[in-house]
Structure 1
Amino acid sequence: MDATDASDGPPPFEDAFRGDDVEQRIYGTVLQTREPTTAGAIADQVDCDPKTARKYLGWFSDLGIVTRYDGTPVTYERNDAYFQWRRINQLAAEHTLDTLRQRVRNLTDRITAYEETYDAERPGAVDAVAAAEASDERTIDAVYGDLADWATVREERERYERARQQRADTETEPVSG
């Protein structure tokens, strides 16, 4: 067999969950779904009976993994709030309060540097083309890269801050006096 044989690597993206059981295939498809989708369409994607898809989607809805939209037909969509909540819980469980505090400080420093560089409070307030034209150092691609990173850092700080607050609520902090 050739060293580049496809069976040695991951499955093609469109068949990423082929070897999993039907529940895992439905879950994996839901993770990729970005708009309300019928159980029938999901069943077609995972090659299962629509009744089976509805059963698992109902269960995922009960767990909060998907949002169910009543209508004709009923549709389901990935619940991003569930995954955000799960990530925050994971951060709070895996890191000490001091580690979380330090990460929030580091992210805040990065945000402050972007605010000073672009003289703005948020990335959406920056005209990328004008910022690149006004700079001898930054290309338009570099500015867009900065703005994307800045937005990501702001989101990450929010997650770490929420995890820090959650962790602080579960620990007894020393009272300074």
Structure 2
Amino acid sequence: MSNTESPDGPPSFEDAFRDDDVEQRIYGTILQTREPATASAIAEQAECDPKTARKYLGWFSDLGIVTRHDGHPTTYERNDAYFQWRRINQLAAEHTIDELQEHVRNLTTRITDYEDTYDATTPAAVDAVDAAETSDERTIDDGYSDLADWATARDERKRYERARQQRAGAETDQASG
């Protein structure tokens, strides 16, 4: 344990999954993987046998957590759609329709403020360098920060709106059932 690491705190970022069982280490490796990887590469990262990694990757593939790409060699990658679906289900389960609607309204206000500030409909339509050069108040770093927050707000609004629709549909089904 390093001197900066608390015995009660989380492990260091470099070894975040050291105390987890092999399934959790493979799952953690999948979460951190941005490109398709072989079972051997995942096993090496998760510090387990490639045969064990293949077993869990097959299971994760059946669950939709990873996408299996057949080929030689077979590769696996994180299924971002699964994690989006999971997050939307979590939001729908944890919040009322009113809470979800309020969050959508707040995000919409934030998005509208960015649209007005940058005179654009999407963050992709804005050049942060040009925006900083034409502003007395904003630096390039402010622009990049705003654009990232704007993009995040747009994504979050989609998730909250989908959760709201899901929750509304579930409540309608319960009322009519």
Q: Same fold (TM over 0.5)?
A: yes
Give TM-score, length-normalised by structure 2. 0.92
| 2:42 aligned partner | 42
| 1:57 aligned partner | 57
| 2:102 aligned partner | 102
Cα drift, residue 143 of structure 1: 1.1
Cα drift, residue 11 of structure 1: 2.2
1:129-158 C-alpha deviation (Å, 9 max, x unpaired): 111111111111111111111001000000
Cα drift, residue 12 of structure 1: 2.6
* Structure 2: distance between partners of 1:141 and 1:7: 33
Tell me the percent identity: 78
1:71 counterpart letter in structure 2: G
| 2:111 aligned partner | 111
1:77 match: secondary structure: strand
* Structure 1: distance between partners of 2:56 and 2:94: 30
| 1:163 aligned partner | 163
Query: How do 1:54-133 residues align onto structure 2 when only pairs under 5 Å count?
Result: 54-133=54-133
* Structure 1: distance between partners of 2:130 and 2:82: 38
Unaligned 5+ runs, structure 1: none
Cα drift, residue 95 of structure 1: 0.3
1:92-150 C-alpha deviation (Å, 9 max, x unpaired): 00000011111101110111111011100000101111111111111111111111110
Unaligned 5+ runs, structure 2: none
User: Once superposed, what is the RMSD of the aligned Cα atoms?
Assistant: 1.6
Cα drift, residue 53 of structure 1: 0.5
Give TM-score, length-normalised by structure 1. 0.92
